[in-house]
Amino acid sequence: MRPADEIARRVAEQGALPTLPENRQQVRLSQHDLDLVNRLFADLKAICPAWRREWPDAAAMAIAKQQWTKTLVESGVSSVEQVEHGKRVCRARTGREAAFVPSPGEFAGWCWPEPQELGLPPLEEAYREALRNSHPASIGHERWSHKAVYHATLACSRHSLMTLPGDTSRLKFTKHYRAVQKQLLNGVVLADPPPANQKALPRLGDPAKARSALAAMRASLGGAAQ
């Protein structure tokens, strides 16, 4: 086993976290990633007095950094703003558990603010709005409560929202709604939806126009046959 000081040195100097036995592929981190994780762990040590129970030595802390980094990446957490939100939630805890370090998965969940905190409609409400505005009868008459809902709907595609099974459709919308939330957290200014009379979302073929074109085609073919 490698000495603890060697592991700590590699984390500090090379930006490479040690590999675990079940995963021999080394995780390479940018300097930004490394600084973000190191600052997070330093703050967690200040927030959670009982941190030594989870990280008793440098080797345990280095391995924990690898696991936390994987969890944050897999959860879509990569910005300073998201991590700061997670730390605020961690500081706000009360009771006995407040002294202990949260699990990586729990902390990753704290990094995502509720939509309402950003002035957005709740997820389920936004999803129902996306479905309603994706229905063919609504095209050209959409009403958007927030442009974030419009952009998440556009990213999903109206066809997917209307044709995928309910659970799959909801998961897809959730993914894109979170992506838009992350943009807002990073200071991105979203474009306004186009006016309703410009048909904000692509529309499928109009059945009435299709019937009219088919009738005209038949008439033309009938005249040619005479």
Does residue 86 sit in the same domain as residue 129? no
Tell me if 34 is assigned to some domain: yes
Per-residue pLDDT of the chain (226 residues; tens, 9 = 90+): 444 444 444 544 444 444 334 443 444 556 777 788 899 999 999 999 999 999 999 999 999 998 998 898 888 887 888 899 999 999 999 988 899 999 999 999 999 888 888 899 999 999 999 999 998 888 778 899 999 999 999 999 988 998 999 899 999 999 999 899 888 887 889 999 987 665 544 444 556 666 776 676 666 566 544 4
Residue span of the structural domain in which 157 resides: 116-207
Tell me if 222 is assigned to some domain: no
What pLDDT score was predicted for residue 216?
A: 66
Tell me if 121 is assigned to some domain: yes
Does residue 150 sit in the same domain as residue 60? no
Does residue 92 sit in the same domain as residue 190? no
**pTM for the whole structure:** 0.58
Torsion of CA 29, 33, 39, 43, to 10 degrees: -100
Does residue 90 sit in the same domain as residue 127? no
What pLDDT score was predicted for residue 42?
A: 95
Tell me if 85 is assigned to some domain: yes
Tell me if 224 is assigned to some domain: no
Q: Please give the Cα distance from 190 to 69 (Å, whole number).
A: 29
Tell me if 219 is assigned to some domain: no
How many domains would you assign to the chain? 2
Does residue 120 sit in the same domain as residue 108? no
